[in-house]
Amino acid sequence: MDFKLEVTDAKSKARAGVITTDHGQIETPIFMPVGTAGTVKTVHQRELNEDVKAQIILGNTYHLYLRPGLDVIEAAGGLHKFNGFEKPMLTDSGGYQVYSLKHRRKITEEGVKFQSHIDGSRHNFTPEVVMDIQRTIGADIIMAFDECTPYPCDRKYARESMEMTHRWLKRCCDRFDQTESKYGYSQTLFPIVQGSTYHDLREKSAETIASFGREGNAIGGLSVGEPAEMMYESTDLVCSILPADKPRYLMGVGTPENILECIALGVDMFDCVMPTRNARHGLIYTSEGIINIKNKKWEKDFSPLDPNLGGYVDTAYSKAYVRHLVHSSEALGAQIASIHNLAFYLWLVGEARAHIKAGDFSTWKNLILPKISSRL
């Protein structure tokens, strides 16, 4: 993997760059649609390419490990061959799912024992196992196995968990560096900064993570319920420590507003289920504001979802039609809204990038933020 930092904004810490992987380039800042089980929910691979214009998508190690299982993915020749998405992919490490499985897992120094949410079967993730799994899944960028602490989190737990995450990182790096890609293209390992909302812990963690000298770095444990201001403070602090010549990935963030604010703090990569999950509930992000398409006010509005986007779903369908579909629980409603919301997120980061390169990012951000955050 290679990262070329192209421009750093003069009035903020925003950056534009290009990541190069064996599956192609990624222009940053970038949003990565979440493809949990090897599928971005309701969206065809062709639509990811042509309509959403995704440059990289995510897969979830926890989900893919359980279904279809590693033997199937390996027999296919890796996740790209299995799901037919030929561009770069990133897998998380399962750390976040472990955090979510609160009552079905036990964390020890060795790793995490957990029960499948599908059939209750028992499994054991250790840093080494998770590296091996991600070698088999075969994403271009893979993530270290960490513990994602909840919010709020007491200081002692946060510190001890962070220290364990650092020890796990050492084990991840050792295993990763001793093994090889299975499918003939390179993989790279990103470590994850933890430390909850404690500034000194975040600082310590960022320094530790940076010292590993990997090709990119991630910020975890945010967007777990803390106020946005706290998230911005931690992100700002961590970005000031993580090396400037490597991409910074803020995990699980967030709203369009969160993303623009964190781009301004120096983040290069984002992922979040929001655009697709909210789409399935009828929440549509547009360049003119946020729409709850279920509202009666859209019943006879035959204008496009977003007149400024111009992709297929924005020219083929009207608000009234999408409202009817969502209102009638017709699957096509979620499909249209998912493509639209993802296309909007990709449009937004693309615009941010263009304005960083043009030198007017902050001006543009201040103009567009109130608009895209308003409720229509």
- Which sequence positions are flagged as catalytic? 92, 271
Q: What is the closest distance, in whole angstroms, from the C-beta atom of residue 35 to a copy of itself in the complex?
A: 10
**183 contacts 138 by C-beta, under 8 angstroms:** yes
Q: Which of 139, 138, 123 has the alpha carbon at shortest distance from 57?
A: 139
Within residues 44-83, the interface with a copy of itself by CB under 8 A covers: 44-46, 67-68, 71-72, 75-76, 81-83
184 is in an annotated binding site: no
Q: Which of 271, 252, 236 has the alpha carbon at shortest distance from 12?
A: 236
174 is in an annotated binding site: no
Tell me the site size for a copy of itself, rule CB under 8 A: 39
146 is in an annotated binding site: yes
Q: Dihedrals φ, ψ of 258, to 5°?
A: -55, -45
Radius of gyration of the chain (CA): 20
HEC readout, 190-201 = ECEECCCCCHHH
95 is in an annotated binding site: yes
Q: What is the closest distance, in whole angstroms, from the C-beta atom of residue 96 to a copy of itself in the complex?
A: 19
Q: Dihedrals φ, ψ of 21, to 5°?
A: -120, 175
Applying CB under 8 A, among 39, 186, 292, 295 the residue interacting with a copy of itself is: 39
- Please give the structure tokens belonging to residue 277: 């999950």
Within residues 165-204, the interface with a copy of itself by CB under 8 A covers: none
Cβ nearer to a copy of itself, comparing 114 with 321: 321
Cβ nearer to a copy of itself, comparing 217 with 335: 335
Q: What is the closest distance, in whole angstroms, from the C-beta atom of residue 47 to a copy of itself in the complex?
A: 9
Strands (E) across 75-149 are located at 89-91, 105-107, 112-115, 122-125, 141-143
- Please give the structure tokens belonging to residue 209: 């993570």
221 is in an annotated binding site: yes
Measured between alpha carbons, how far is 311 from 46 in angstroms, rounded to an integer?
Answer: 13
Collapsing DSSP states into helix, strand and coil, what is residue 293?
coil
Within residues 313-342, the interface with a copy of itself by CB under 8 A covers: 316-318, 320-321, 323-325, 327-328, 330-332, 334-336
Contacts (Cβ under 8 Å, ≥6 apart) of 321: 302
Cβ nearer to a copy of itself, comparing 39 with 287: 39
Beta bridge partners of 15: 8
Beta bridge partners of 105: 114
Within residues 281-310, the interface with a copy of itself by CB under 8 A covers: 299-300, 302
Cβ nearer to a copy of itself, comparing 13 with 327: 327
Sequence ranges of the binding site: 92-96, 146, 194, 221
Q: Summarize as ranges the residues that interact with a copy of itself (CB under 8 A).
A: 37-39, 41-46, 67-68, 71-72, 75-76, 81-84, 299-300, 302, 312, 316-318, 320-321, 323-325, 327-328, 330-332, 334-336
Sequence ranges of the binding site for substrate: 92-96, 146, 194, 221
